[in-house]
């Protein structure tokens, strides 16, 4: 199988970073909601 | 290299901060042994997800995950991510089931005893304790190695500092302190990880430049069809799934969740988060190969793939990024060490009522705290004296892969007996051992069968996959052929709560384990009357 090209590689790298960042935002929201802050 | 004094100061400040927060959070609360061990129904969705993320994300993600990426390519990166996500997804379904079938439970060994009897209990106890202890010792070894690499901090100093401070607040506050500090650690680790890794990508010239460097150095690492990578990735998925299913950490947190929906949703969030974080960490092993001199041949004396991430740090990044990663490493190790201290001590604490004559709540609380201390001292000692303990990690994974399905299947099947569960685990283990590449001299030295064993699988797939799938198949067959039915409703009657402090300061007694739930509730009603 051919090596992963630069575009899919960049998508995977930045995409996963974005997923982790979104999880953080979601966590902050849910913790705030549980605490009655939002 | 960073200043040793500066890194030690950062380490002590971080540890003092979390110790103070952990003790402050639980100080003044009337804690029963139930609070120390399960913090039952106390934790909402946000905090439960946070502790599920923080607990598993140890400093190992900066060592083992990049090593897999650097050595076994993008397919292993995917396998590692899936492997870490799969147990969380499984628990999102197992968790509510466990709460329904064993509503007053505390630990996986307690469930194994009630469901399958003494022999399976002993096997599960051994496997689970071995896995968690090796995990713990490896975490302390990992942070000691990391701080020695970036700032030349003596290894014994790091292990004793981390183990000692974490013991203070975990011994005092139990699971509640662990979950509270885990929440803060997750909220710090996630953004720090994103900023540090995004900063690293930008410093290296962006994703395009990184891709070009890897392509020029080791193009096979970017090949999704790289055979060895696919096999090793799949092997990791089996190994991690099996090992995490016998990890008491998760069983405790299933009971700590506020309700069934909280447990299900929190494990689903952790599925996405843990899979993505490990995927990212493993991907940086591939990045490292393109930037630094990473040796992936284990036969070479200069093998350094196991510290690929730190070699990359030293080769390409300014001190600010390195300090950020050191802080991430500290947070990672603290969050998993406090979790494992508590998980290991809780397994034994829950069994104390069977060993002692009707202990009261105070005795059990004392026992729980003393056991946490024993676990901490033993783990620090082993991490300093026996670095080769890391070699046992794959063996512990193999044991987990063999026992996981038969253990969990008892929550769903009325027909799987203790003999069937233990037998299927042993058959799975035998198949896994036949192909297991480590300790080969010992395995082939087994009388009669040793010489007839097939060649070992250096990529572990036949070993881990064989153990998991064969034990699963045999357990299903044993349940189908069984004529003995186990009434799962008995589990809720057999497993009761531990002694709890009554409003008058006395205790409801510790015969709760032999009481039915109804009896225990009736006891409490009588006390309050």
How many C-beta neighbours within 10 Å does residue B204 have?
17
pLDDT-derived band at B528 (thresholds 50, 70, 90) equals very low
Contacts of A9 in chain B (CB under 8 A): 207, 210-211, 222
Please tell me the distance from the alpha carbon of residue B110 to that of residue B90, in angstroms, as a whole number. 20
| Main-chain phi, psi angles of B257, to 5 degrees | -60, 145
Contacts of A15 in chain B (CB under 8 A): none
Task: Kindly tell me if the per-residue pLDDT of B508 is higher than 70.
Answer: no
| DSSP state for residue B38 in the 8-state scheme | T
| Main-chain phi, psi angles of B92, to 5 degrees | -65, -25
Number of Cα atoms under 13 Å in the Cβ half of residue B277: 34
Please tell me the distance from the alpha carbon of residue B7 to that of residue B152, in angstroms, as a whole number. 9
Quick one: which H or E segment has residue B527? helix B517-528
pLDDT-derived band at B450 (thresholds 50, 70, 90) equals confident
ipTM of the complex: 0.95
Q: Which residue of A has its CA nearest to B258?
A: A34
A5 to chain B, closest Cα gap in Å: 8
Say if residue B8 is exposed, middle or buried (CB neighbours under 10 Å; 0-12, 13-18, 19+). Answer: middle
A37 to chain B, closest Cα gap in Å: 13
Contacts 24+ apart (CB under 8 A), B3-9: B3/B151, B4/B151, B4/B152, B4/B153, B6/B151, B7/B147, B7/B150, B7/B151, B7/B153, B7/B326, B8/B151, B8/B153, B8/B157, B8/B161
Please tell me the distance from the alpha carbon of residue B60 to that of residue B83, in angstroms, as a whole number. 14
Contacts of B269 in chain A (CB under 8 A): 23, 26-27
How far from chain centre, in Å, is Cα B53? 11
Contacts of A29 in chain B (CB under 8 A): 46
pLDDT of residue B202: 92
> Which pLDDT tens digit goes with each residue over A1-38?
688 999 999 999 999 999 999 999 999 999 999 988 87
Contact A6, B208 (CB under 8 A): yes
Dihedral class, residue B505 (left if φ above 0, else alpha if ψ from -120 to 50, else beta): left
Please tell me the distance from the alpha carbon of residue B229 to that of residue B257, in angstroms, as a whole number. 37
> Which pLDDT tens digit goes with each residue over B52-80?
999 988 888 988 899 999 999 999 999 99
pLDDT of residue B149: 86
> Which pLDDT tens digit goes with each residue over B107-143?
999 999 999 999 999 999 999 999 998 889 888 988 9
The tokens for B256 are: 């700590």
Q: Which of A2, A17, A24 sits opposite B280 (nearest CB)?
A: A17
């Amino acid at each position: 199988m051919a090596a992963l090209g630069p575009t899919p590689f960049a998508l995977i790298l930045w995409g996963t970073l974005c997923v982790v960042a979104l999880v953080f935002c979601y966590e902050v929201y849910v913790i705030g909601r549980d605490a009655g802050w939002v | 290299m960073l200043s040793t004094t500066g890194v030690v100061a950062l380490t002590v400040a971080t540890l003092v901060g979390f110790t103070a927060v952990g003790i402050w959070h639980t100080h003044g609360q009337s804690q029963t042994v139930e609070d120390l061990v399960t913090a039952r129904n106390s934790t909402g969705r946000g905090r439960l997800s946070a502790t599920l993320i923080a607990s598993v994300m140890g400093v190992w993600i900066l060592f083992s995950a990049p090593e897999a990426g650097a050595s076994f390519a993008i397919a292993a990166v995917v396998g590692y991510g899936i492997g870490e996500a799969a147990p969380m997804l499984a628990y999102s379904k197992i968790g509510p089931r466990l709460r329904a079938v064993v509503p007053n439970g505390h630990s996986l060994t307690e469930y194994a005893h009630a469901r399958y009897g003494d022999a399976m209990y002993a096997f599960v106890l051994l496997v689970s304790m071995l896995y968690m202890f090796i995990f713990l010792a490896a975490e302390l070894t990992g942070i000691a190695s990391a701080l020695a690499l970036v700032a030349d901090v003596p290894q014994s100093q790091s292990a004793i500092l981390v183990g000692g401070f974490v013991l203070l607040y975990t011994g005092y506050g139990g699971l509640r302190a662990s979950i509270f500090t885990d929440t803060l650690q997750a909220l710090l680790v996630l953004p720090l990880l994103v900023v540090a890794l995004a900063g690293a990508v930008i410093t290296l010239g962006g994703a395009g430049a990184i891709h070009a460097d890897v392509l020029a150095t080791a193009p096979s690492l970017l090949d999704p069809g790289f055979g060895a990578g696919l096999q090793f990735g799949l092997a990791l998925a089996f190994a991690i799934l099996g090992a995490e299913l016998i990890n008491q950490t998760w069983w405790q947190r299933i009971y700590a969740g506020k309700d069934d929906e909280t447990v299900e949703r929190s494990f689903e969030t952790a599925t996405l988060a843990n899979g993505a974080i490990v995927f990212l960490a493993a991907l940086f092993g591939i990045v490292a190969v393109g930037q630094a001199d990473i040796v992936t041949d284990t036969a070479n004396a200069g093998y350094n793939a196991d510290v690929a991430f730190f070699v990359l740090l030293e080769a390409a990044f300014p001190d600010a990024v390195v300090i950020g990663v050191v802080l991430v490493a500290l947070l990672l190790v603290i969050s998993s060490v406090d979790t494992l201290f508590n998980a290991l001590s809780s397994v034994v604490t829950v069994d104390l009522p069977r060993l002692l004559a009707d202990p009261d709540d105070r005795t059990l609380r004392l026992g729980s705290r003393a056991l946490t201390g024993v676990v901490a001292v033993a783990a620090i000692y082993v991490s300093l004296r026996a670095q080769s303990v890391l070699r046992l990690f794959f063996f512990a994974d193999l044991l987990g892969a063999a026992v996981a399905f038969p253990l969990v299947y008892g929550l769903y099947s009325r027909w799987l007996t203790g003999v069937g569960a233990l037998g299927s685990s042993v058959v799975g283990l035998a198949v896994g051992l036949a192909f297991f590449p480590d300790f080969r001299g010992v395995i082939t030295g087994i009388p009669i069968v040793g010489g007839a064993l097939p060649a070992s699988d250096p990529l572990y797939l036949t070993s881990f996959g064989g153990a998991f799938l064969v034990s699963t198949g045999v357990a299903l067959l044993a349940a189908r052929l069984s004529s003995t039915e186990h009434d799962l409703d008995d589990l809720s009657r057999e497993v009761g709560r531990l002694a709890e402090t009554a409003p008058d300061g006395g205790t409801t007694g510790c015969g709760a384990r032999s009481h039915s739930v109804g009896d225990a509730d009736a006891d409490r009603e009588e006390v309050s009357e």
